[in-house]
Structure 1
Amino acid sequence: MSFASLGLSDEIVRAVTERGYTVPTPIQMQAIPAVMSGGDLLAGAQTGTGKTAGFVLPILHRLSDPNVKGPSSGRPPIRALILIPTRELAAQVEESVRDYGKHLKLNSMTMIGGVNINPQITKLRGRVDILVATPGRLLDHVQQKTVDLSHVEILVLDEADRMLDMGFIRDIKKILALLPKHRQNLLFSATFSDEIKALADGLLNKPAMIEVARRNATADNVAHKVYPVDRDKKRALLSHLIKEHNWSQVLVFTRTKHGANQLAEHLIKGGIPALAIHGNKSQSARTRALSEFKDGSLRVLVATDIAARGIDVVDLPHVVNFELPNVPEDYVHRIGRTGRAGASGEAVSLVCVDEYKLLADIERLLKRELPEEVVPGFEPDRNAKPEPIQNGRGSTPGGRGQPRGRSSAPRSPSQGRGAAPTREANGNVATPRTPPLHRSGGRHR
C-alpha cells in the first residue's frame, strides 16, 4: 500500500515522499479514504500513530481539488478549521500542513495564545485556507471580529479527549455555533470516554468509525519499568539512571510547574543539561526548549502534562514519570511520546510509597502488572509512611480531572493484598493493593 494508491494528488504524494515517508500507517490507510469521501469521521488512535497526516493529507487533497469551487467573489474564506488543545501541538500540526502542502496553492496559519495577537490579525487580512487554532485565542479573535468562520467546510477536533480534560467544552460549543451547519466533522481522540462519546453523538452525522488501538492501550513496543524509591531520593535516582545508562533525549514528567523547575535545576547542578517547559514559561522559551530538545542539544526536557502535548520527537527513546499522574489515562498519554510509528522506547516510572494506589490504578487500566527493579543504593524504606498527594491536576477531592469515585491517596507499605479497606484522606474507601517489593513472587530484581 502506497500513498499514491490512496488517491491523493501527485503534489501531495511528492511532498510526503520528500519527508521520507513511503508507506501509510494503519490509521492513515483507514482515515485518508474516509475523509476524502466527504463524510464525518470518529477516529481513535494513540499518539504517535501518524494521525496528523491521517487528516491533513486528505484535507489538502479536498481543498486543492480543482473541481470544487469556492466563493467566486470577495476575500477567499477560511475553509478548514483544526482545533488543537495546546500551543505546541498547534504549531506542530500547522507545520505539517505547510510541509505536506508545499506544492499546493493553499495558505495556512497558526492561531495561539501567549503571543502578540496583532500579527495574527494582520495575517487574517490575507488568504488563509486552513486555520489551526487553540480554542481560547480563536474566541479572542471572534470577540474582536477579526475572524470569519461562516464558510468553514471541514472541522477537525484533534486530541478531543485532552480538549475536554482541559475544560474547553464550553469554548468548543461557542465555536460550533459560529460554523455552517453543513460541514464535514472529524474527531480524533486517543481515548474514548463517556464524555467523548457524548460529544461525538452531538457533533457527528453518521460517522465512519476507526480505532487502530485498543481503548486506553499503550504501544506494544514500549518497555515499561517501575523503580520503587523513597520520595526524597527520586532526584538522585533519576540523575543516576541518566548517567549510568547514558540516556539522551529524556522527556520527564512532573505533576506541577514548580516541581518541573526544581527538578531541572537539580539536573543542571549535576551536570545534566535540562530545561523545564510548562504554562508559566513564555511561548518563546517553550519554543526554544522544544527546539533544542528535538535537535538533541538538550539532554533532558522536564514537562507538565499540558505543556507536553504536541511534543513530537522522532525515535524519542525515554519517557520518565518522575511522579505518577493522578489520572491513570494520563499515563497512556505520557508514554505515547515514545515507541512511535514502530520505533522502540522505554517508559520509566519512579514510584514512592505515596503513589502505590496510583500505580495500581494504572495497572488496572492497562490490565497488566508493570515490571519492577530496585536500584542498589536506592532501596526504598519498607516502613516509610505515605503522605497525601496535595498538588497536581485532580489530586484534591472533586478536582477537575479526578475520576468520580476514585481516590489518589497513597497506600501504606504494610497493607498487603489481604488488608482491610481503609478510609482515605478524601473520604473514599479504597481497596488496598500490594505495594512494590511485596507483590506476588517478591520481585525486586
Structure 2
Amino acid sequence: MARLTLTDIRKSYGGTEVLRGIDLTVADGEFLSLVGASGCGKSTLLRIISGLESPDAGKIALDGRDVGSATPKERGVAMVFQDYALYPHMSVAQNMAMPLIMARLPMYARLPGARWLTPNHRGTRSGVAAQVERVARQLRIDHLLDRRPAQLSGGQRQRVALGRALVRDPSLFLMDEPLSNLDAKLRVEVRREIVELHRASGLTFVYVTHDQTEAMTMSDRVALLRDGRLLQVAAPGTLYADPASVEVARFVGTPEISLLPAVAEPGGLRIGTVLAPCAHGLTSGRDVIVGLRPEALAPVGMPALQSPGGRGPRLRLELAVEAVEDLGAEVVIHARLRDFPDLAVRMRSQKTLERTGPVPLPDHLTAEAPLSALLMFDAEGQRLRDPAPVQMAGAQ
C-alpha cells in the first residue's frame, strides 16, 4: 500500500495552464476517483503521479518520500490505460509476464540464444509463471493464458491489462478510463470486478473517469476537477447531498439538479411568485440560488406516481410539462415554471407498484418538495451551509 500526497501541482502546455495548484492526499488502501469533463486535467494529473510526465511546480510524495525526480519504475506504481496496450503477437501469459521479465532479467537474458547463459534463468522464469498464474486465477482468466488478444472479448482484454499491472505487486494502482471501450452491460460487470480487486488486494487505487456513475459507485472518495482546479473532494454520498458549489451540484446527479434564482425575504425565500416559508437568517433582498434534486420534487394528485413522502412544510410549484422520459419503473419529467418559462425544472418520480404501463401526464401540473431538501447557494454559486433553510413556526 502507499499514501500519496500531492502539493501545489502545476502544469502548463505552452500558454495553457492545465493544472492550477492541486493539493490532494490519498490514504493507504483508498480508492479515489478523479472525475471531470474532458480537458479538466485529470489524465495529466495521473500521468504526473505515475512519472510519465513532470509537473512545472509542486511536490509528489509516496509514504512521505519525495518521488518528483523518480522514474515510474522507481515509484513502484502500475498503470492501466484506456486502450489496454497489449502486445498482439503474445499470448495472455506472455503479456502478463512481460513486466516481471523486464524487471528480473537483464536485457541480454531476454534474447532467445543468450538466456540459457543467465544464472538461475529457469528459476526466474518459473517464478514469473507462478505469479502470472496466481493473478490470472484471481481475475478468473487462468483458462485464457494461451490465447492471444485478438481471440479475447473486450472485457477479457481489460482483465488481462489489469493482470499485467497487478503481477508487479505495485504499491499504487493507477487507471486511466479503463472501461471506456466497453459496452454498457460489460462496464457494469468489470466495474464490480475492479471494486472486488481493490478490496482483495488492499492496494491504493487512483482511478480517472469522466463517468460520474463509475466514480460514485466504485470510490471511497471522489475528487472533482474543472479547468485544472479541484472543486471538491469527498465521499460519493457527501458530494451528492452536500455539494460545495453550483458547479459540483450540476456535475453530480442524473438528471441534472434544478437551479432556481430566489430572493431572501423576512417570511422566507421567494422563487418566482412563490414564497417558500423558511427561516434562513439572510439579509432581506439578498439574491440566492435554490437547488432541487430531481427526486426531491414529486407531482401532486397523480395516483400512478408515488406521492411526496415525509411531513413538514413544502415548496409548491406550478409547472408546464415539456417532455416525459418513461424509464419503466420511473419517469423523468422535464418542465418549466408556469409563470417563469425561462426556469427549467426536472423531476424523477417512481411509479406506484400497481402501475407498469405508460403514465399519461397533463400539460400542467403541481409539484411539491420538502423545504428540508432545498440546497442554497449564494449569487456567485458557493454553498450557503449556515444558515440553512429550516421550518418556521406555524408553517404549513
Q: Answer yes or no: same fold by TM over 0.5.
A: no
Which of the pair is proportionally richer in helix?
A: 1
Q: Which has the larger radius of gyration?
A: 2
Which of the pair is proportionally richer in strand?
A: 2
> TM-score of the superposition, structure 2-length normalised?
0.33
